[in-house]
Structure 1
Amino acid sequence: MSEAQQAQAELVEEFSFFDNWMDRYQYIIDMGKALPVYPEELKGPHTKIDGCQSNVWIHPEVKGEGSEQRLHFQATSDAAIVAGLIAVVMRIYNDRTPQEIVATQPTFLAELGLDKHLSPTRSNGLHAMLKRIYGVAELHAKA
Protein backbone atom coordinates (compact mmCIF):
# COMPACT_ATOMS: atom_id res chain seq x y z
CA MET A 1 0.00 0.00 0.00
CA SER A 2 1.39 3.40 -0.97
CA GLU A 3 1.70 6.32 1.46
CA ALA A 4 -1.24 8.08 -0.23
CA GLN A 5 -3.42 4.97 0.00
CA GLN A 6 -2.44 4.58 3.65
CA ALA A 7 -3.35 8.23 4.29
CA GLN A 8 -6.77 7.64 2.71
CA ALA A 9 -7.34 4.55 4.89
CA GLU A 10 -6.35 6.46 8.04
CA LEU A 11 -8.67 9.33 7.16
CA VAL A 12 -11.59 6.96 6.57
CA GLU A 13 -10.89 5.32 9.92
CA GLU A 14 -10.81 8.71 11.71
CA PHE A 15 -14.13 9.71 10.18
CA SER A 16 -15.72 6.43 11.25
CA PHE A 17 -15.59 7.66 14.86
CA PHE A 18 -18.16 10.39 14.11
CA ASP A 19 -21.82 9.47 14.47
CA ASN A 20 -23.28 12.21 12.29
CA TRP A 21 -22.45 14.60 9.49
CA MET A 22 -22.48 17.71 11.62
CA ASP A 23 -19.55 16.29 13.59
CA ARG A 24 -17.79 15.34 10.34
CA TYR A 25 -18.26 18.84 8.93
CA GLN A 26 -16.86 20.34 12.12
CA TYR A 27 -13.84 18.02 11.94
CA ILE A 28 -13.25 19.06 8.31
CA ILE A 29 -13.46 22.74 9.31
CA ASP A 30 -11.02 22.15 12.19
CA MET A 31 -8.60 20.46 9.78
CA GLY A 32 -8.78 23.55 7.57
CA LYS A 33 -7.92 25.81 10.48
CA ALA A 34 -4.68 23.86 10.90
CA LEU A 35 -3.47 24.51 7.33
CA PRO A 36 -0.15 26.34 7.10
CA VAL A 37 -0.38 30.05 6.32
CA TYR A 38 -0.55 30.60 2.58
CA PRO A 39 1.73 33.39 1.31
CA GLU A 40 -0.24 36.34 -0.07
CA GLU A 41 2.19 36.69 -2.97
CA LEU A 42 1.09 33.26 -4.24
CA LYS A 43 -2.54 34.37 -4.58
CA GLY A 44 -2.89 35.10 -8.25
CA PRO A 45 -4.56 33.92 -11.42
CA HIS A 46 -1.87 31.27 -12.00
CA THR A 47 -2.66 29.54 -8.68
CA LYS A 48 -6.43 30.18 -8.50
CA ILE A 49 -8.67 27.19 -9.11
CA ASP A 50 -11.54 27.74 -11.51
CA GLY A 51 -14.76 25.89 -10.80
CA CYS A 52 -14.91 26.65 -7.10
CA GLN A 53 -17.67 28.75 -5.55
CA SER A 54 -15.13 30.04 -3.00
CA ASN A 55 -11.69 31.38 -3.74
CA VAL A 56 -9.15 28.55 -3.78
CA TRP A 57 -5.45 28.78 -4.54
CA ILE A 58 -3.04 25.86 -4.99
CA HIS A 59 0.66 26.38 -5.55
CA PRO A 60 2.67 23.28 -6.56
CA GLU A 61 6.41 22.90 -6.02
CA VAL A 62 8.74 20.14 -7.11
CA LYS A 63 11.14 19.02 -4.41
CA GLY A 64 13.99 16.62 -5.03
CA GLU A 65 15.18 15.03 -8.24
CA GLY A 66 14.81 11.77 -10.11
CA SER A 67 13.18 9.00 -8.11
CA GLU A 68 13.31 11.24 -5.01
CA GLN A 69 11.11 13.89 -6.66
CA ARG A 70 8.04 14.83 -4.62
CA LEU A 71 5.28 17.32 -5.23
CA HIS A 72 4.63 19.78 -2.44
CA PHE A 73 1.43 21.79 -2.52
CA GLN A 74 0.53 24.93 -0.63
CA ALA A 75 -3.17 25.72 -0.68
CA THR A 76 -5.83 27.87 0.93
CA SER A 77 -9.40 29.07 0.61
CA ASP A 78 -11.44 31.95 1.95
CA ALA A 79 -14.20 29.53 3.05
CA ALA A 80 -13.85 27.40 6.19
CA ILE A 81 -15.37 24.18 4.83
CA VAL A 82 -13.35 24.45 1.61
CA ALA A 83 -10.14 25.02 3.58
CA GLY A 84 -11.02 21.80 5.41
CA LEU A 85 -11.49 19.96 2.13
CA ILE A 86 -8.08 21.27 1.07
CA ALA A 87 -6.62 19.85 4.30
CA VAL A 88 -8.19 16.47 3.51
CA VAL A 89 -6.74 16.49 0.00
CA MET A 90 -3.32 17.67 1.21
CA ARG A 91 -3.17 14.89 3.76
CA ILE A 92 -3.51 12.34 0.98
CA TYR A 93 -1.54 13.89 -1.88
CA ASN A 94 0.97 16.36 -0.46
CA ASP A 95 4.67 15.47 -0.58
CA ARG A 96 4.09 12.34 -2.67
CA THR A 97 5.84 11.32 -5.86
CA PRO A 98 4.08 12.26 -9.07
CA GLN A 99 3.72 8.57 -9.93
CA GLU A 100 2.10 7.81 -6.56
CA ILE A 101 -0.38 10.64 -6.97
CA VAL A 102 -1.37 9.50 -10.46
CA ALA A 103 -1.76 5.91 -9.23
CA THR A 104 -3.94 6.86 -6.23
CA GLN A 105 -7.62 7.05 -7.01
CA PRO A 106 -9.63 9.37 -4.74
CA THR A 107 -11.64 6.57 -3.12
CA PHE A 108 -12.00 8.73 -0.01
CA LEU A 109 -14.79 10.70 -1.73
CA ALA A 110 -17.18 7.76 -1.54
CA GLU A 111 -15.69 6.17 1.57
CA LEU A 112 -16.15 9.37 3.60
CA GLY A 113 -19.49 10.10 1.98
CA LEU A 114 -18.31 13.42 0.59
CA ASP A 115 -19.78 12.55 -2.78
CA LYS A 116 -23.25 12.50 -1.17
CA HIS A 117 -23.00 15.15 1.55
CA LEU A 118 -21.35 18.09 -0.19
CA SER A 119 -23.39 20.63 -2.08
CA PRO A 120 -22.98 20.45 -5.86
CA THR A 121 -20.87 23.62 -5.88
CA ARG A 122 -18.55 22.32 -3.13
CA SER A 123 -18.29 18.98 -4.90
CA ASN A 124 -17.38 20.73 -8.17
CA GLY A 125 -14.74 22.72 -6.32
CA LEU A 126 -13.27 19.59 -4.74
CA HIS A 127 -13.10 17.92 -8.15
CA ALA A 128 -11.42 21.04 -9.60
CA MET A 129 -8.77 20.85 -6.86
CA LEU A 130 -8.17 17.17 -7.57
CA LYS A 131 -7.99 17.89 -11.30
CA ARG A 132 -5.23 20.47 -10.70
CA ILE A 133 -3.27 18.11 -8.42
CA TYR A 134 -3.56 15.20 -10.87
CA GLY A 135 -2.65 17.49 -13.78
CA VAL A 136 0.55 18.62 -12.07
CA ALA A 137 1.38 15.03 -11.11
CA GLU A 138 0.78 13.73 -14.64
CA LEU A 139 3.02 16.43 -16.08
CA HIS A 140 5.88 15.49 -13.76
CA ALA A 141 5.30 11.72 -13.90
CA LYS A 142 6.05 11.84 -17.63
CA ALA A 143 9.14 14.02 -17.24
Structure 2
Amino acid sequence: MSDSTALPGAFAEIADDFHALSGRDRLQLLLDFSNDLPALPERYADHPELLEPVPECQSPIFLITEVQGTGREATARLFFSAPPEAPTTRGFASILAEALDGRTVGEVLDTPESVTGALGLAEVVSPLRLNGMAGMLVRIKRQLAEKSAP
Protein backbone atom coordinates (compact mmCIF):
# COMPACT_ATOMS: atom_id res chain seq x y z
CA MET A 1 0.00 0.00 0.00
CA SER A 2 1.44 3.36 -0.92
CA ASP A 3 1.38 6.54 1.05
CA SER A 4 1.14 8.64 -2.09
CA THR A 5 -1.32 11.09 -0.56
CA ALA A 6 1.61 13.06 0.91
CA LEU A 7 3.39 13.20 -2.45
CA PRO A 8 3.06 15.94 -5.05
CA GLY A 9 0.54 15.05 -7.78
CA ALA A 10 2.78 13.66 -10.51
CA PHE A 11 4.93 11.76 -8.01
CA ALA A 12 1.80 10.29 -6.42
CA GLU A 13 0.66 8.92 -9.78
CA ILE A 14 4.09 7.45 -10.50
CA ALA A 15 4.29 5.95 -6.98
CA ASP A 16 0.85 4.40 -7.42
CA ASP A 17 2.01 2.82 -10.70
CA PHE A 18 5.06 1.30 -8.98
CA HIS A 19 3.11 0.12 -5.91
CA ALA A 20 0.56 -1.64 -8.13
CA LEU A 21 3.34 -3.97 -9.33
CA SER A 22 5.44 -6.78 -7.86
CA GLY A 23 9.20 -6.41 -7.43
CA ARG A 24 10.29 -7.70 -10.83
CA ASP A 25 7.60 -5.67 -12.59
CA ARG A 26 8.67 -2.57 -10.64
CA LEU A 27 12.17 -3.00 -11.99
CA GLN A 28 10.75 -3.36 -15.51
CA LEU A 29 8.74 -0.15 -15.08
CA LEU A 30 11.92 1.63 -13.97
CA LEU A 31 13.64 0.34 -17.11
CA ASP A 32 10.68 1.55 -19.18
CA PHE A 33 11.16 5.00 -17.67
CA SER A 34 14.83 4.86 -18.66
CA ASN A 35 13.79 4.54 -22.31
CA ASP A 36 11.61 7.65 -21.99
CA LEU A 37 14.30 10.07 -20.76
CA PRO A 38 14.11 13.05 -23.10
CA ALA A 39 17.23 13.86 -25.09
CA LEU A 40 19.22 16.93 -24.17
CA PRO A 41 18.44 20.03 -26.21
CA GLU A 42 21.25 20.93 -28.63
CA ARG A 43 22.26 23.92 -26.52
CA TYR A 44 23.36 21.45 -23.81
CA ALA A 45 24.26 18.43 -25.93
CA ASP A 46 26.88 20.59 -27.64
CA HIS A 47 28.09 22.03 -24.30
CA PRO A 48 28.23 19.25 -21.70
CA GLU A 49 30.45 21.44 -19.50
CA LEU A 50 27.32 23.45 -18.60
CA LEU A 51 25.77 20.45 -16.83
CA GLU A 52 26.36 19.63 -13.17
CA PRO A 53 27.57 16.12 -12.30
CA VAL A 54 25.76 14.10 -9.64
CA PRO A 55 28.55 12.27 -7.78
CA GLU A 56 26.07 10.37 -5.55
CA CYS A 57 25.13 8.33 -8.61
CA GLN A 58 27.16 5.23 -9.38
CA SER A 59 26.85 6.01 -13.10
CA PRO A 60 27.85 9.26 -14.76
CA ILE A 61 24.81 11.54 -14.82
CA PHE A 62 24.67 15.25 -15.38
CA LEU A 63 21.81 17.71 -15.05
CA ILE A 64 20.90 21.32 -15.55
CA THR A 65 17.80 23.34 -14.80
CA GLU A 66 16.27 26.40 -16.37
CA VAL A 67 13.80 28.83 -14.87
CA GLN A 68 11.27 30.68 -16.97
CA GLY A 69 10.22 33.69 -14.89
CA THR A 70 11.18 34.64 -11.36
CA GLY A 71 10.20 33.51 -7.90
CA ARG A 72 8.20 30.49 -6.82
CA GLU A 73 5.68 30.85 -9.65
CA ALA A 74 8.36 30.56 -12.35
CA THR A 75 8.35 27.44 -14.51
CA ALA A 76 11.05 24.86 -13.83
CA ARG A 77 12.68 23.01 -16.71
CA LEU A 78 14.90 19.98 -16.09
CA PHE A 79 17.42 18.38 -18.42
CA PHE A 80 19.50 15.24 -17.86
CA SER A 81 22.34 13.39 -19.51
CA ALA A 82 22.72 9.74 -18.57
CA PRO A 83 24.31 6.96 -20.62
CA PRO A 84 22.10 4.22 -22.07
CA GLU A 85 24.23 1.61 -20.28
CA ALA A 86 23.00 3.03 -16.95
CA PRO A 87 19.29 2.19 -17.14
CA THR A 88 18.59 2.53 -13.41
CA THR A 89 20.09 6.00 -13.29
CA ARG A 90 18.33 6.98 -16.51
CA GLY A 91 15.07 5.67 -15.05
CA PHE A 92 15.45 7.82 -11.94
CA ALA A 93 16.24 10.87 -14.06
CA SER A 94 13.23 10.16 -16.26
CA ILE A 95 10.94 9.87 -13.21
CA LEU A 96 12.19 13.24 -11.93
CA ALA A 97 11.73 14.77 -15.39
CA GLU A 98 8.19 13.44 -15.75
CA ALA A 99 7.16 14.47 -12.24
CA LEU A 100 8.85 17.88 -12.02
CA ASP A 101 9.61 19.33 -15.46
CA GLY A 102 7.19 22.14 -16.30
CA ARG A 103 5.98 22.54 -12.70
CA THR A 104 6.40 25.77 -10.80
CA VAL A 105 9.67 26.34 -8.97
CA GLY A 106 7.67 26.42 -5.74
CA GLU A 107 6.18 22.98 -6.40
CA VAL A 108 9.63 21.54 -7.05
CA LEU A 109 11.19 23.22 -4.02
CA ASP A 110 8.34 21.91 -1.85
CA THR A 111 8.88 18.33 -3.05
CA PRO A 112 10.00 16.34 0.00
CA GLU A 113 13.26 14.44 -0.31
CA SER A 114 11.31 11.39 0.86
CA VAL A 115 9.76 10.99 -2.60
CA THR A 116 12.77 8.99 -3.69
CA GLY A 117 11.95 6.34 -1.11
CA ALA A 118 8.21 6.45 -1.69
CA LEU A 119 8.28 4.71 -5.06
CA GLY A 120 8.63 1.23 -3.57
CA LEU A 121 11.94 0.56 -5.29
CA ALA A 122 14.02 -0.24 -2.21
CA GLU A 123 13.33 -3.95 -2.72
CA VAL A 124 14.63 -3.97 -6.30
CA VAL A 125 17.51 -1.44 -6.31
CA SER A 126 20.28 -0.80 -3.82
CA PRO A 127 20.17 1.99 -1.22
CA LEU A 128 23.22 3.44 -2.97
CA ARG A 129 21.22 3.83 -6.18
CA LEU A 130 18.30 5.40 -4.31
CA ASN A 131 20.82 7.81 -2.79
CA GLY A 132 21.76 8.81 -6.33
CA MET A 133 18.17 9.78 -7.10
CA ALA A 134 18.06 11.80 -3.89
CA GLY A 135 21.29 13.51 -4.97
CA MET A 136 19.67 14.50 -8.25
CA LEU A 137 16.70 16.03 -6.43
CA VAL A 138 18.94 18.00 -4.04
CA ARG A 139 20.87 19.48 -6.97
CA ILE A 140 17.71 20.29 -8.90
CA LYS A 141 16.26 22.13 -5.92
CA ARG A 142 19.48 24.03 -5.24
CA GLN A 143 19.82 25.14 -8.87
CA LEU A 144 16.18 26.23 -9.07
CA ALA A 145 16.41 28.17 -5.81
CA GLU A 146 19.48 30.02 -7.11
CA LYS A 147 18.08 30.67 -10.58
CA SER A 148 14.62 31.79 -9.46
CA ALA A 149 15.80 34.31 -6.89
CA PRO A 150 14.66 37.83 -7.87
* TM-score normalized with structure 2 length: 0.78
In the alignment, which of 132, 136, 139 is matched to residue 143 of structure 2? 136
1:27 shift after superposition: 0.8
- Is 1:81 the counterpart of 2:88? The answer is yes
Q: Percent identity?
A: 26
In the alignment, which of 17, 20, 33 is matched to residue 14 of structure 1? 17
The superposition leaves residues 28-86 of structure 1 with CA deviations (integer Å, 9 ceiling, x where unpaired) of 11111111112432423742222221010112111235665211011131211110111
The superposition leaves residues 110-131 of structure 1 with CA deviations (integer Å, 9 ceiling, x where unpaired) of 3322345431331221121011
In the alignment, residue 91 of structure 2 is paired with which amino acid? G
Greater helix share, 1 or 2?
Answer: 1
The superposition leaves residues 6-45 of structure 1 with CA deviations (integer Å, 9 ceiling, x where unpaired) of 1011112212331x21111111111111111124324237
Give me the whole-angstrom Cα distance separating, in 2, the residues matched to 1:116 and 1:24: 9
> Aligned residue for 1:108?
115
Give me the whole-angstrom Cα distance separating, in 2, the residues matched to 1:122 and 1:66: 32
Structure 1: stretches of 5+ with no match in the other structure: none
The number of equivalent residue pairs is 139
Q: Residues 50 and 34 (structure 1 numbering): CA distance in 2 closer, same or farther, change over 3 Å? A: same
> Aligned residue for 1:119?
126
* TM-score normalized with structure 1 length: 0.82
Give me the whole-angstrom Cα distance separating, in 2, the residues matched to 1:35 and 1:72: 14
Structure 2: stretches of 5+ with no match in the other structure: 1-6
Give me the whole-angstrom Cα distance separating, in 2, the residues matched to 1:64 and 1:141: 7
1:99 shift after superposition: 1.4
